[in-house]
Amino acid sequence: VQPRRRTEQDAEDAVAELARALAALSQADMLRLKAIARLRARGLPSDTSWSDLLNEAIARALDGTRQYPEGIGVIAFLAGIMRSLASEHWRRLRREAGIFDLSGGDDGADAADPAPDPERNLVTLQALSALDQLFAGDPAASQILAGLAGGLSPKEIRETYGLSETDYDSTRKRMRRLLLRQGIAWSI
Amino acid sequence: MKIIRSDLALQRILDALEADLLAATAEEVQAIVAETGMSADALLADRGAPQRPSHNHEAGGDSTPHPDLRSDLPLKGGGA
């Protein structure tokens, strides 16, 4: 059976559905989106604000560049677009610098390159340092951060650092609260 | 000793922390708002949070909302 091709009407319906979902966001949802945008903007140069990133994600979604799929929450959808935009930003800089990206994908495409450009290195190190400082007062959080950086699973992190499941879960909860607090309110 | 690429490390951390934020409940967000002593509106107004799209079905015009975008977005351009 041939899958049904997306028609123009399907695309318009998807945009209308997205617009409805955006309009239905609560204030708590909007603040969560803000915290996510602020987190994702950490991986970008400082002249790109979280609101630039979020506005661009919404624009791409509403102009149909990114199609809103059924069965996914609008916040997760926009978070995915922001993630792609961040990757796209670095790919574009690499193209402009004459460095070819042969991987072609969003996910880890830039990370797979053996020599990230100096600007990205600088932004990355600043972001890692800021995250390190954010959780510096919480040793378990710092351990989890190190484990995440190394690509460890939750089970591997617990085993590596001798954390019980309860310790791990409660630490992740503290980390989430701190991130929310930082993402929602710290620039005020 | 295993050396981890810094850009890959950051990507992994951001992905994991983003998943945490996606899982945050409305109650957790409201608790943070209460801690600040500010209204959610004021917190949303900080540094140009996107405006909520509005519908105009009654007018029968273009009901597709558009965010208030700056013309000089650093991320503008390039295919998504």
Q: What is the pLDDT of residue B73?
A: 36
pTM over 0.80: no
Decide if A125 and B6 are in contact by the 8 Å CB cutoff: yes
Greater confidence (A65 vs A6) lies with: A65
DSSP state of A65: S
Instruction: Kindly report, residue by residue over A88-129, the tens digit of the pLDDT.
Output: 888 887 777 776 555 555 444 444 455 677 888 899 999 999
Nearest to A23 among B11, B46, B55 (CB): B55
% of residues, chain A, pLDDT over 90: 55
Q: What is the pLDDT of residue A150?
A: 94
| DSSP percent split of chain B into helix, strand, coil, nearest 5 | 40, 0, 60
Q: What is the pLDDT of residue B65?
A: 40
Decide if B7 and A31 are in contact by the 8 Å CB cutoff: no
Q: What's the rounded Cα separation, in Å, for the pair B29 and B27?
A: 5
Is ipTM strictly over 0.90? no
Q: What's the rounded Cα separation, in Å, for the pair A85 and A63?
A: 15
Q: What is the pLDDT of residue A9?
A: 80
**What average pLDDT does chain A have?**
86
Distances (CA, A) of B37 to A65, A120, B21: 39, 37, 21
Instruction: Kindly report, residue by residue over A1-48, the tens digit of the pLDDT.
Output: 555 556 778 888 888 888 999 999 999 999 999 999 999 999 898 888
Decide if A36 and B18 are in contact by the 8 Å CB cutoff: yes
Instruction: Kindly report, residue by residue over B21-53, the tens digit of the pLDDT.
Output: 999 999 999 999 998 888 888 888 865 444 444
Decide if A23 and B53 are in contact by the 8 Å CB cutoff: yes
Residues B53/A23, Cβ–Cβ less than 8 Å: yes
Q: What's the full length of chain B, in residues?
A: 80
Q: Which residues of A touch B17 (CB under 8 A)?
A: 39, 148, 175-176, 179
Q: What is the pLDDT of residue B38?
A: 87
Distance between B59 CA and the closest CA of chain A, angstroms:
16
Q: What is the pLDDT of residue A6?
A: 61
Residue of B nearest to A92 (CA): B78
What is the number of other CB atoms lying within 10 angstroms of the CB of residue B17? 25
Q: Which residues of B touch A48 (CB under 8 A)?
A: 74-75
Q: Which residues of B touch A42 (CB under 8 A)?
A: 10, 14
